[in-house]
Amino acid sequence: MLPNSISTKEKILNHIKANIQMTVLELSAQLNITEMAVRRHLQVLETDGLLSSFMKKNMTGRPSKVFQLSELGEDFFPKQYKQIGMDLLQEINRLDASIINQAIVSRQERLVNRYRGRFKDKPFIGQINELAKIQSEMGFMAEVNETDSEEVAQIRQSNCPYLEIAKDFPEICRNEHKFYEELLHTKNIEKISSLSRGDSCCHYVIRKD
C-alpha cells in the first residue's frame, strides 16, 4: 500500500512502475478516484515527459489507451548505479590497484580508435570543435572558447559524468588529458582547472604544434 502522504501523480507513477503498463480504468480502480481525475493527472505526466502511451487492441470493444513510464519517468525512481559502481571500483582497487589503471587505459584506447576518423583532414580549429562535440556527446557539456590567436584554442567542460569516481581515482582525469593528446596529435595541452579539484569547470588550453 502506498503512503497517503505522497501526491496522486506520484501514486500513479508508482502503480505504473509496479505494473509496467496500465489503463485509465485500472488506475481509477487502484486509486479509488474518478476516471476523469486520472486522465487529468495522466495528461500532465505525459506532457512533462514522464509517461508515454499507445493504443492497445482488445479482443472485444474499442482499443484501450495504455500508459507506461518513459525513460525520463524511469529516472524518477532512485537508482544506486553510482554507488554500486564506486563500491566495485574500490573493492577491485583493494584487491589489485593495477587492474583499475589497465581498465581506464584500455577504455581510452577504444575511444581513440572509435573517434579517430572524425579528425581526418580537419584543420586545427576544426579538430578542436570536433573534440568538443564528442565530449558533449559523452555528457561533458563541452564548448569551445574563442581566443585572439588562430593557433590557441580553449575547451571548457561544465559537467563531468565521472566526477564522484574521479575524486577517488585521479587516473580518470589523467587519461582524459591523454585522450585529448591522442586525438589532437599534440602534447601542447594544459589543463588549467578541474571539476574534480573543486573548480567550476574543466578548462583546457590547446596550442597548435
CB 67 within 8 A of CB 23: yes
pLDDT at position 1 over 50: no
pLDDT at position 74 is 86
pLDDT at position 5 is 58
pLDDT at position 80 over 70: no
pLDDT per position as a tens digit, 94-119: 888 888 889 888 999 999 999 999 99
pLDDT at position 78 over 60: yes
CB 172 within 8 A of CB 166: yes
Q: What mean pLDDT comes out for the span 54-73? A: 89
What CA–CA distance (Å, rounded) separates 97 from 90?
A: 9
What CA–CA distance (Å, rounded) separates 167 from 196?
A: 5
CA torsion 181-185-187-192 (nearest 10°) is: -50
pLDDT per position as a tens digit, 65-75: 999 999 888 88
Residue 76's pLDDT band, with cuts at 50, 70 and 90, is: confident
Mean pLDDT over the full length of the chain:
89
CA torsion 146-150-154-155 (nearest 10°) is: 90
pLDDT at position 82 over 70: no
pLDDT at position 165 is 84
Q: What mean pLDDT comes out for the span 39-46? A: 96
pLDDT at position 209 is 81
pTM for this predicted structure: 0.59
pLDDT at position 4 over 90: no
pLDDT at position 166 is 85
Q: Where are the alpha helices (DSSP H) in 139-198?
A: 163-168, 171-184
